[in-house]
Amino acid sequence: MADIFTLGIDMGSTASKCVILKNGREVVGSSIIDSGAGTTGPQRAFEACLKDAGIEQGQLSNITATGYGRNSFEAADFVISELSAHTLGVHTMYPQARTLLDIGGQDAKVMSIGESGRLENFLMNDKCAAGTGRFLEVMARILEVGVADLKDLDAKAEGTISISSTCTVFAESEVISQLAKEADIPSLVRGINASVAAKAASLVKRLGVKEPVYMTGGVARNTGVVRALEKELGTEITVSEIQQINGAYGAAVYGYGKVR
């Protein structure tokens, strides 16, 4: 029988992600472009993913879109919510997962997942930049580093300079005044990561921590935030092997379900 290829595209607020699945399981192509919905990001991610898999668009059985900009991808055959995509993605790869925390560029979501993979409950923070990737982007810009550098700086910290403001704008002024005092940058970064973790942890606690806990989204790539979250929640957190592309993976899994 011919192989079945399905493509999932996650049009996030900050990044566009794509996954191509072969026969519903094997990831044969993926891409991440650091531009989100409303830009050329989704189309570029789509083309990069086909190239990565070494296949043509005509070989795809179907395309499923998810994410913030999911309704604007014209080539999509199906559209599913981010909550569905993330739940399906993590359940397919890690059937044992009972709690999933996804922190993206503009929101944080926590999902409670049943044994059969059903989404039992969820909470979302999409009202405030604190506790999301946006907070880290703002701080990285002031520190003149990339968001990808925050984990290594955190790992070098010997202390923590706590950020007391929970509002991103006030926290930004706080970090600027710390810089003016020539504060130790790694300790400051640890405080910044801890601030995101504290905010996300309160969301998880409100929903209830059901173990084992998994994490996805771009911010899961920042091990400083993950370690701080483990401390806040008093539990181990497993970062999905496909962190930032879990939503796109879930969308491609959904598309495969539609083929059979």
- Kindly tell me the burial class for residue 145, based on how many C-beta atoms sit within 10 Å of its own C-beta (0-12, 13-18, 19 or more): middle
Choose one: 12-20, 58-66, 115-123, 161-169; the region binding ligand ADP (CB under 6 A). Answer: 12-20
Whether the CB-CB separation of 30 and 248 falls below 8 Å is answered with: yes
Residue 12 interacting with ligand ADP (CB under 6 A)? yes
Neighbour tally for 208: CB within 10 Å: 11
| Alpha-carbon span 224 to 241, nearest angstrom | 17
d(CA 67, CA 36): 10
Please give the order of strands across the beta sheet that includes 99-103: 119-125, 108-113, 99-103, 213-216, 237-239
**Interface with ligand ADP in residues 144-183 (CB under 6 A):** 147-148
Question: Which lies closer to ligand ADP via its Cβ, residue 29 or residue 104?
Answer: 104
Binding mask 30-69 for ligand ADP (x = CB under 6 A): ------x------------------------------x--
Nearer to ligand ADP, 219 or 237 (CB): 219
Contact segment (CB under 6 A) with ligand ADP among 10-18, 44-52, 88-96, 114-122 equals 10-18
Contacts to ligand ADP by CB under 6 A: 12-15, 36, 67, 104-106, 133-134, 136-137, 147-148, 217-219, 221-222, 244
